[in-house]
């Protein structure tokens, strides 16, 4: 591919990543925030943690479910200026995001745990919101939020970047060139 062709492809990937990130940045619904506010007593903390969870889950979806390996880095690059602007406005928010992102990543990297990955992500959300000793109903509600957020991000990813399509009569391994 020519230099101009590579440049155009890179610009198109950036445009798609920006479009995906804009969908992630839509303000959480009041229902997404209110259930966590009821547990924490602090709407600002609940809003921050729901926003962080949505971003983290979107990055995880881009990393794990995208057709192209470069999609995750494209999405991270599109999200970086937004996170940097927030960190300039409030160093505490920047530090909180960095800490939370590391926790989300570490909880998925952990192997051999009894909890499902969505439940582990839900526990990170609850811990970030300072919800201690969460009972089964609270964990179930947080896990439902994680599942819904992942499904929404995955749907958006497919709509923007495309879905994998394979011919019905050909094995995937036969498509290798």
Each residue of 2-48: pLDDT tens digit? 888 888 888 888 898 999 999 888 888 899 899 999 999 999 999 99
| Nearest CA among 101, 93, 115, 100 for reference residue 72 | 101
- Sorted by sequence, the CB contacts under 8 Å of residue 45 that are 6+ apart come out as 129, 130
**Whether the predicted pLDDT of 74 surpasses 60:** yes
The C-alpha torsion from 97 through 130 and 60 to 23, rounded to 10°, is -70
Residue 24 to residues 5, 116, 126, 152: CA-CA distances in angstroms? 29, 24, 20, 9
Q: What is the rounded distance in angstroms from the CA atom of residue 142 to the CA atom of residue 32? A: 10
**Whether the predicted pLDDT of 177 surpasses 60:** no
Average pLDDT in the 77-94 region? 92
**Whether the predicted pLDDT of 176 surpasses 70:** no
Residue 143 contacts residue 118 (beta carbons within 8 Å): yes
**Whether the predicted pLDDT of 168 surpasses 80:** no
Each residue of 100-143: pLDDT tens digit? 999 999 998 888 888 899 999 999 999 999 998 888 899 999 99
pLDDT band at 70 (very low <50, low <70, confident <90, very high): confident
- Sorted by sequence, the CB contacts under 8 Å of residue 54 that are 6+ apart come out as 24, 28, 149, 153
Bigger pLDDT: 161 vs 144:
144
């Amino acid at each position: 591919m020519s230099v101009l062709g590579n440049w155009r492809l890179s610009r198109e990937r950036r445009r798609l990543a920006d479009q995906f990130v804009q969908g992630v940045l839509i303000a959480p619904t009041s229902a997404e925030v209110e259930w966590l506010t009821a547990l924490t007593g602090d709407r600002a903390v609940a809003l921050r943690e729901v926003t962080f969870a949505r971003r983290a889950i979107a990055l995880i979806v881009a990393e794990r479910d995208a057709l192209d390996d470069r999609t995750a880095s494209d999405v991270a690059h599109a999200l970086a200026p937004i996170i940097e602007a927030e960190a300039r406005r409030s160093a505490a928010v920047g530090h909180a995001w960095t800490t939370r992102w590391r926790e989300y990543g570490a909880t998925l990297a952990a192997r051999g745990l009894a909890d499902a990955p969505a439940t582990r992500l839900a526990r990170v959300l609850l811990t970030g919101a300072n919800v201690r000793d969460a009972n089964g109903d609270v964990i179930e509600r947080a896990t439902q939020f994680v599942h819904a957020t992942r499904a929404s991000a995955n749907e958006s990813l497919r709509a923007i970047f495309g879905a994998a399509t394979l011919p019905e009569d050909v094995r995937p391994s036969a498509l290798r060139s």
